[in-house]
Structure 1
């Protein structure tokens, strides 16, 4: 009798197990997209827009107060912005040192506005990318001691503790478009709130006073710089577009595998997919750096830098960031003319040339072919 009851119990347990068995199915309904992880010091930028029920007189009064604090609207270097000449340089100047090899200067924020061909003096045609430096101002300088104390992540570079941080903003806008917390970041510098904020690791000797304007003459023609930005986002793509695979044959018995990647592993004891295998996935939308770009031309009227090459990451009108190159063979060996940055003089404001060309670039305003008169030829003979 006991044996029969035990058998009945086992049958009931086995039926219970079979009824509660779940099989895991590995699939994703949507492909993973790159996630934006905000830092701990992040301040909300944009605020919700709603009808504040202001009269026309009140709106005019608010605009008048904004223009009285940050300056009237103006078009500077071909860009619509605010005239900040009244409100800058409110803090005490930061003491800068002398240049020595290994000093790291600040960078610039620019927009990629297109690709333009140029010709060298030997007749070779090269493609250049146009980067417009728009409304760059120093917002804040953080010393190495304060910057390292606020960091939570482990160090990624050698001697990282010797660098400070310089916060740079670009494209000044009406402060009514931003939140109170975001506008508070610009209170000490006297600069109007900007659309774009970035930080650059700098040496203490290259510190710059908050409120200082940065121009493309921070670099000079012939310098090599690194350009980084966000690449074009292509979405979920296969191996042929993402990695450049050849694909399978089109005929001779091939069915439904024309654009597939083929084998992704091996059998046996080590049969698995190795990490880093090139497979379909999300393409683009990542931070990429183009190193060692040479500056061939600088336009001082519209603050445009002509960089050799057309592989700058991002699409047209995308934001990119420039700084001195980190390539060992192209490091700066002599002191730059603008250290820690370029400070314009009132006397030379009108004397600056509109275009500054590299010595190897052909200027189309110069003659390309010269002919001598027959009388001059006969005199030489």
Structure 2
């Protein structure tokens, strides 16, 4: 018995040693840490899939020559051919949803979608040569109006979000063949009665500035001398260094400089920081971002072809790209400060006798139809 007790007492250390214990440890996350995560795309509820995947060879085999001609005939009968300047017409009545009211400074109008044509020189009356950017209002029509009580642009996490007192007008530009788009996308234009558009854009408008779907928008939506904001997508330059992306001077070309001619140089903060500060200008992707150029002045309008001349290199993006125009938000350049009320809610000819001149010039711009130099006859 004594021997058995000695054996049991000898197993006590082993009992504590073999007892299971709970231990926790943390695995380090060595992935890429983003200061600002990528924004999630939130498509609006009115937008659907636009294009469809069609095998060209299979599509050509299924349609005979008679089928193709029949489809073209149906499209021509349903949609009128677009004009060069004014675009295609809508069979709907051109009446605003709300009664036409007088413009007030706090009212917000709809904008237009224009195609960038290029940059040309112009001359002012004092002989100064200036560069101007040409835009053509490309077959704009109002597609849909969403009132303020139904317009919810995004889901917010605020408990008491601010009530929005502006609605949304969806505008389409550049009519295209319906065969290029999906059936769901073409159904967006049934209410407006126009051909499917290549680009759709939304504009925040006051309820007093709402327009009926199918209403065309012309270049005369604006006046000469008015200031506008232009939103466009910059040219995609790809991955670029700091000299091209940010305009750095670079290192010297000689005198002992080795392999650092186009490098950014020191980027450390030193001290207790010991990190790269947020917002440091470094190499990276350049372009392909939406940018807004504010307070650009309109100096000339062609009412026949819907062309607008804007002073300066006034827009981001390459030639033949689509940009958005809307009234400027800068207070010192607004219509209220200039004491020049715009066409509200848009320019709509009230009668057939109302004809605008083909060319509209600002006061300080030289009209090319006028003589340049006047000579007095000497006696």
Q: TM-score range by the shorter chain?
A: 0.7 to 0.9
Q: CA deviation at 1:277?
A: 0.5
- TM-score normalised to structure 1 length: 0.83
Whether the 8 Å contact between 1:143 and 1:165 is mirrored in structure 2 is: yes
- Provide the rounded CA distance (Å) in 1 between the counterparts of 2:122 and 2:40: 38
Are 2:374 and 1:370 aligned? yes
Whether the 8 Å contact between 2:96 and 2:211 is mirrored in structure 1 is: no
Closer, same or farther: CA 106–229 of 1 in aligned 2, 3 Å: same
Are 2:199 and 1:190 aligned? no
Of residues 46, 50, 65, the one that matches 2:51 is 46
Closer, same or farther: CA 25–216 of 1 in aligned 2, 3 Å: closer
Note the 1:126-275 alignment, pairs <5 A: 126-148=130-152, 151-153=154-156, 161-275=164-278
Closer, same or farther: CA 290–160 of 1 in aligned 2, 3 Å: farther
- TM-score normalised to structure 2 length: 0.83
- Provide the rounded CA distance (Å) in 2 between the counterparts of 1:374 and 1:118: 32
The Cα offsets for residues 98-148 of structure 1, whole Å up to 9 and x where unpaired, read as 321121100000011100111111111111000110100000111111103
- Provide the rounded CA distance (Å) in 2 between the counterparts of 1:344 and 1:90: 10
Q: CA deviation at 1:171?
A: 0.9
Whether the 8 Å contact between 1:99 and 1:335 is mirrored in structure 2 is: no
Q: CA deviation at 1:24?
A: 5.1
The Cα offsets for residues 163-219 of structure 1, whole Å up to 9 and x where unpaired, read as 110000011112111101111111111111111100001111111111100000000
Whether the 8 Å contact between 2:79 and 2:195 is mirrored in structure 1 is: yes
Q: Which 5+ residue runs of structure 1 have no aligned equivalent?
A: 6-20, 28-33, 376-381
Aligned length: 346
- Provide the rounded CA distance (Å) in 2 between the counterparts of 1:154 and 1:113: 42
Superposed CA RMSD in Å reads 3.0
Of residues 97, 101, 110, the one that matches 1:97 is 101
Tell me what 2:64 maps to.
55
| SS of corresponding position for 2:164 | helix
Closer, same or farther: CA 103–40 of 1 in aligned 2, 3 Å: closer
Note the 1:347-362 alignment, pairs <5 A: 347-348=352-353, 351-362=355-366
Tell me what 2:331 maps to.
328
| SS of corresponding position for 2:149 | helix
The Cα offsets for residues 277-313 of structure 1, whole Å up to 9 and x where unpaired, read as 0001100010001101000000112111000011410
The structure 1 segments of at least 4 consecutive aligned residues displaced by more than 6 Å after TM superposition are none
Whether the 8 Å contact between 1:264 and 1:273 is mirrored in structure 2 is: yes
| SS of corresponding position for 2:285 | strand
Closer, same or farther: CA 287–36 of 1 in aligned 2, 3 Å: farther
- Provide the rounded CA distance (Å) in 1 between the counterparts of 2:118 and 2:54: 33
